[in-house]
């Protein structure tokens, strides 16, 4: 019976996990259990779950959630201190909600303990002291003398309730055994008390632990110190302590004490900001790269009416041929260009007989082809595809030229002819009769007597911003490292730039320079996401030293997010550069290294000097300097309230409440801080909501 009861205490208060279940057969399933309080529906963290068939033990997480692999016909037992055990049959279910009910204890032998209100275990309500990411609890437990009999065990389990993050964190337990209980317990474990899961924490009752107070009470006073890690040292923390007493047969006493005297953390008023740094070493940039692109060129050769020969005395023709020749030679001589197709279109204007015009177009086509091919060597001509098309322009082409020239009335006249006559020769006859035909013949028809060519060639070159943007708009996954780099570096709109950066990291997670640029963007906005640079920061990434800028930015991000301990791990990788001196000193202070960084940080502002002095408990100096702060600032009066409240001079301590009231009148939002600030929470007016309460 004793062993069963002891194990109950172990499971309920220490949340001792013995192992995890392993699926061994095909009828094993994964079950997700959510454990809640039946009355309030709130999660029951750290509930112990036992698979009754295998004997395996599991533990619910902070959200009262536990996931385990068991057989479909398994039976699970849920237990937690202060609640009735619940047994549940799985019956093949993969999701189970378990409701726990507070246990009704038969105090029986404990009547002497609960007869008077004062006969309870009490914990001194000391605030947490925050240093870096650690909350330190330094308190004492007062246990009524008659509570610790020779044959009893008292187990006290403090928890930290992180109200901000809705987390419950177990601290070191205290176990006090009466001498008779201790001897019996040792025998039960075959003279090896190490078999008791609570062995590490056991203290056997001694008379030296008992103290007599002026009111005649005799209590065992046990000092208690422990620390826990908190994600952000500005979180609202409360202490919840579960206490039980047992003898060999049953629980005799159960109680819960919850209080919040706040946390002492003057560094919450440290005034600082961060610079952000782009990587300057171009060797970390994505290497410029050339991509295969298809391109084309065009040339317009103008022919005289009714002729297939090209008049090279025409300056326009000479210039066009010269441009064409230069482009051909550029392509042929380049190792990064490959000419693989030539298409020529010979065009005749629509005046005259259609068949004759078509013959003219074919003749002009051959003339142009001879010019093109004469500029190329045999090897290039043999490896190149050629195609030719002879066509006669239509009167609809003339209409387009007229409209482009804003000759709308004449264009409508030609359009009327085209609409009424389908044959091109008939159309030409009627159009030549128009009063303004001479304008058409002199200005617009010559524009249609020409040769067009298209060179299809491959070229390896860097894409320009517009081409990259077109690719991105079609599919962001298509872009290379360098193209993403060029895309966001050329974007001036910060919102668009951030979108490009996020997409770059989504598709290319290893792109360190993009991650750094995104971190820079967010730091400058006062946003801190440690995940962006987490994989890159440190000594090396992909075999190369990490740029100092990356580590500086990640340290700033971690400090901004309140993850001071993580930021401190980067300090060895940051060179002693001028721009790093400030953040390294700030990192040292936020991690509790006050003395060596005091001079640097205290010189950044008078407010920071006062804050530093308070953190170092140099309270008199802090008070003297606080009197030099500007009186029109709410934080001035708040800091003075802390200084006065710490003073050991009664006449100064009386000024603390006055200063706090001034601060709250000037800035009511400071009340939210005051209610969790162990330095001033006791000063809040009695008619206002208080935080420190014992139940």
Of 69-78, 165-174, 407-416, 543-552, give the lowest mean pLDDT range: 165-174
Instruction: Check: CB of residue 158 under 8 Å from CB of residue 239.
Output: yes
Strand partners, 95: 32
Cα-Cα-Cα-Cα dihedral sign, residues 258, 261, 265, 271: positive
Average pLDDT, the chain: 83
Long-range contacts of 325-333 (CB under 8 A, 24+ apart): 325/375, 327/297, 327/455, 328/372, 328/375, 328/376, 328/455, 329/375, 331/455, 331/457, 332/376, 332/377, 332/380
pLDDT at 19 over 80: no
pLDDT at 129 over 70: yes
pLDDT tens-digit map of 28-50 = 888 888 999 888 888 888 788 88
Q: Which residue has the higher pLDDT, 564 or 209?
A: 564
End-to-end CA distance of the chain: give it in Å, rounded. Answer: 32
CATH 2.60.40.1120 for domain 9-100? yes
pLDDT at 161 over 90: no
Stretch 183-207: mean pLDDT: 82
Of 17-21, 69-73, 93-97, 382-386, give the lowest mean pLDDT range: 17-21
Instruction: Check: CB of residue 3 under 8 Å from CB of residue 189.
Output: no
Strand partners, 29: 70
C-alpha distances in Å from residue 29, one per residue of 57, 74, 681: 16, 10, 51
Interior/surface letters 528-543, b for 16+ CB within 10 angstroms, e for the rest:
bebebbeebbbeebee
pLDDT tens-digit map of 580-633 = 999 999 999 999 999 999 999 999 999 999 999 999 999 999 999 999 999 999
Residue 281 is predicted with a pLDDT of: 94
Q: Which residue has the higher pLDDT, 531 or 152?
A: 531
Residue 292 is predicted with a pLDDT of: 58
pLDDT at 444 over 60: yes
C-alpha distances in Å from residue 53, one per residue of 50, 67, 90: 9, 17, 12
pLDDT at 678 over 70: yes
Stretch 126-137: mean pLDDT: 89
Query: How big is the CA angle at 52 (ends 46 and 57), to the nearest 5 degrees?
Result: 35
How far is the C-alpha of 640 from the C-alpha of 266, rounded, in Å?
12
Same fold, 9-100 and 291-455: no
Stretch 667-692: mean pLDDT: 76
Stretch 382-389: mean pLDDT: 80
Residue with token string 């009197």: 627
- Sequence ranges of the domains in the chain: 9-100, 108-264, 274-289+462-571, 291-455
How far is the C-alpha of 461 from the C-alpha of 584, rounded, in Å?
44
pLDDT cut 90: percent of the chain above it: 39
Q: Which residue has the higher pLDDT, 624 or 117?
A: 624
Q: Specify burial of residue 177 (Cβ count, 10 A radius: 0-12, 13-18, 19+).
A: buried
Residue 296 is predicted with a pLDDT of: 64
pLDDT at 305 over 80: no
How far is the C-alpha of 250 from the C-alpha of 252, rounded, in Å?
6
pLDDT at 433 over 70: yes
Stretch 513-530: mean pLDDT: 96
How far is the C-alpha of 52 from the C-alpha of 67, rounded, in Å?
16
Give the fold, CATH level 3, of 108-264: Immunoglobulin-like (2.60.40)
Q: Which residue has the higher pLDDT, 324 or 548?
A: 548
Give the fold, CATH level 3, of 291-455: 60s Ribosomal Protein L30; Chain: A; (3.30.1330)
| N residues, the chain | 695
Pairing of strands 65-71, 48-51: unpaired
Return the structure tokens found at 595. Answer: 């003395």
């Amino acid at each position: 019976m004793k062993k069963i009861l002891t194990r109950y205490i172990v499971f309920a208060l220490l949340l001792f996990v013995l192992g995890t279940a392993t699926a061994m057969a095909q009828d094993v399933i994964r079950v997700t259990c959510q454990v809640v309080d039946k009355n309030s529906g709130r999660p029951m963290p750290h509930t112990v779950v036992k698979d009754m068939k295998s004997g395996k033990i599991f533990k619910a997480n902070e959200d009262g959630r536990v996931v385990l692999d068991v057989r479909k016909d398994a039976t699970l037992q849920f237990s937690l201190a202060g609640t009735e055990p619940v047994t549940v049959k799985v019956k093949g279910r993969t999701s189970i909600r378990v409701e726990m009910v507070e246990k009704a204890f038969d105090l029986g032998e404990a009547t002497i303990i609960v007869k008077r209100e004062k006969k309870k275990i009490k914990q001194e309500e000391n605030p947490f002291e925050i240093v870096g990411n650690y909350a330190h609890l330094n308190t004492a437990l007062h246990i009524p003398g008659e509570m610790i009999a020779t044959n009893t065990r008292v187990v006290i389990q403090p928890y930290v309730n992180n109200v901000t993050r809705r987390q419950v964190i177990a601290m070191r337990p205290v176990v006090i055994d009466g001498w008779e209980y201790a001897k019996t317990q040792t025998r039960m474990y075959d003279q090896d008390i190490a078999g008791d899961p609570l062995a590490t924490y056991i203290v056997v009752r001694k008379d030296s632990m008992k103290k007599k107070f002026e009111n005649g009470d005799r209590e065992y006073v046990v000092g208690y110190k422990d620390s826990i890690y908190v994600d952000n040292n500005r979180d609202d923390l409360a202490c919840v302590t579960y206490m039980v007493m047992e003898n060999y047969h049953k629980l005799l006493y159960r109680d819960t004490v919850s209080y919040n005297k706040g946390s002492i953390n003057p560094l919450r008023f440290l005034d600082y900001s961060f610079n952000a740094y782009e990587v300057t070493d171009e060797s970390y940039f994505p290497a410029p790269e050339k991509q295969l692109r298809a391109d084309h060129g065009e040339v317009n050769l103008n022919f005289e009416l009714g002729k297939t020969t090209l008049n090279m005395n025409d300056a326009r023709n000479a210039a066009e041929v010269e441009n064409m020749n230069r482009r051909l030679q550029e392509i042929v001589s380049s190792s990064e260009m490959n000419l693989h197709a030539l298409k020529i279109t010979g065009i005749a204007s629509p005046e005259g007989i259609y068949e004759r015009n078509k013959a003219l177009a074919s003749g002009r086509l051959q003339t142009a082809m001879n010019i093109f091919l004469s500029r190329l060597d045999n090897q290039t001509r043999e490896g190149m595809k050629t195609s030719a098309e002879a066509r006669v322009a239509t009167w609809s082409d003339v209409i387009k030229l007229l409209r482009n020239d804003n000759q709308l009335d004449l264009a409508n006249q030609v359009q009327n002819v085209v609409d009424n006559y389908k044959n091109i020769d008939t159309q030409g006859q009627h159009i030549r009769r128009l009063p303004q035909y001479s304008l058409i013949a002199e200005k617009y028809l010559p524009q249609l007597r020409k040769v067009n060519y298209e060179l299809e060639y491959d070229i390896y070159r860097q894409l320009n911003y517009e081409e990259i943007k077109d690719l991105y708009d079609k599919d962001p996954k298509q872009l290379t490292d360098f193209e993403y780099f060029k895309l966001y570096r050329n974007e001036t709109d910060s919102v668009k730039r951030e979108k490009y950066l996020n997409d770059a990291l989504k598709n290319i997670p290893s792109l360190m320079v993009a991650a750094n640029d995104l971190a820079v963007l967010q730091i400058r906005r006062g946003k801190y996401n440690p995940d962006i640079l987490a994989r890159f920061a440190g000594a090396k990434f992909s075999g190369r030293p990490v740029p100092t800028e990356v580590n500086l930015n990640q340290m700033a991000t971690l400090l901004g997010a309140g993850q001071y301990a993580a930021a401190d791990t980067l300090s060895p990788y940051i060179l002693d550069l001028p721009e790093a001196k400030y953040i390294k000193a700030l990192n040292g202070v936020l991690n509790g290294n006050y003395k060596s960084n005091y001079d640097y940080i205290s010189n950044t502002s008078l407010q920071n000097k006062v804050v530093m002095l308070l953190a170092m408990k140099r309270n008199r100096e802090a008070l003297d300097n606080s009197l030099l702060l500007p009186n029109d600032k709410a934080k001035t009066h708040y800091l003075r309230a802390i200084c006065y409240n710490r003073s050991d001079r009664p006449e100064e301590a009386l000024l603390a409440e006055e200063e706090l009231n001034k601060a709250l009148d000037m800035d009511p939002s400071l009340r939210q801080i005051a209610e969790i600030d162990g330095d001033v929470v006791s000063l809040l007016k009695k008619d206002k909501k208080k935080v420190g309460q014992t139940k």
